[in-house]
Amino acid sequence: MSHSRKHADTASGFLIVLNASYPSSAYFHVPFCQHRCGYCDFTLVAQKDHLIEAYLDAMAEQTSELGAGIELKTLFLGGGTPTHLSIEQLSRLFEIIFSHFQLADDYEFSIEANPLNLTNEKIDFLKQSGVNRVSLGVQSFDSDILTFLERDHTPEQIFEIVKSLQSRISNTSLDLIFAVPGQTQDGWKQTLQDAVQLNIPHISTYGLTIEKGTSFWSREKAGLFDLPQDELAGDMYEFAL
């Protein structure tokens, strides 16, 4: 099948959904990160920023047959880490999106973010572009757990960036991971307390899963670490509720 046929099929698939009578939603995948964490099995590339322009070109081509003025109630940019892109690259991505889509009056425009990708300048740009919800990949407020998860931010940086976000985009969501090797129930409780004290509208918690093909999978199979017992993981889950 030719590339043009594939792109036409993609556009047709979009149109089938977007012509429905119910409010429309769209998800755009931005598959770039500075670093692939050991537990991550999402579709992404790390340390290959030279591919970003080609990605944007492909996005423009694949959406070229959609027409204009398609109304969206929900727009979500995930990844990867969409905020890994520069302001200039994000500006081009938004231009591509909004050449075909427009936001409904009561829209939600969400973007996934890494704490270290969000400068004040970038937050201001996101707000000016219509973003009204940020999903922040915090994962923990415990330095040792952050190190194990191969996260490159500190607890202090989390507090700082959340403060900056709240003064600009108040609808912020935090992602947290529990059942991490070395994590205790008291440590998990403290992380939740740190998150709650920030007065965040939404907190998502996820139990650590070890997926085949990740570096954590290889390390676990080699006996380099053990996951917490199911009983402890269950207690952590129940406490989060």
- Kindly give the residue spans of alpha helices, DSSP state H, lying in 63-213: 87-98, 120-128, 143-148, 155-166, 185-196
Please report the domains of the chain, with CATH numbers, ordered by start residue: 3-240 (3.80.30.20)
Q: What does the pLDDT look like over 146-184, one tens digit per residue?
A: 999 999 999 999 999 999 999 999 899 999 999 999 999
Which residue in the block uniquely carries the two structure tokens 């995930």?
A: 78
> Cβ contacts of residue 30 below 8 Å, gap of 6+?
55, 77, 78, 79, 80, 81, 82, 84, 85, 93
55, 29 Cβ separation under 8 angstroms:
no
Residues 6+ apart with CB under 8 A from 167: none
State the DSSP H helix or E strand holding residue 11, giving kind and residue range, or none if neither. helix 3-18
The sign of the CA dihedral 119, 120, 123, 129 is negative
The conformation of residue 24, written as its DSSP 8-state character, comes to: P
| pLDDT score recorded for residue 8 | 46
pTM surpassing 0.75?
yes
pLDDT of 6: 46
77 — phi, psi (to 5°)? -110, 115
The residue assigned the tokens 């205790």 is: 184
Q: What is the mean pLDDT of each run of 10 residues along the chain (241 residues)?
A: 45 51 80 93 92 97 88 95 98 96 95 94 97 97 96 95 93 96 96 95 95 94 91 94 86
Among 112, 113, 115, 110, CA closest to 161: 115
Contacts of 27 (CB under 8 A, 6+ apart): 76, 77, 78
112/80 Cα distance (integer angstroms)? 8
Confidence (pLDDT) at 9: 52
Contacts of 76 (CB under 8 A, 6+ apart): 25, 26, 27, 28, 110, 111
Question: What is the predicted pLDDT for the residue at 65?
Answer: 85
pLDDT of residue 30: 97
- CA pair distance 52, 50, nearest whole angstrom: 6
| Model confidence pLDDT, tens digit, residues 118-143 | 999 999 999 999 999 999 999 999 99
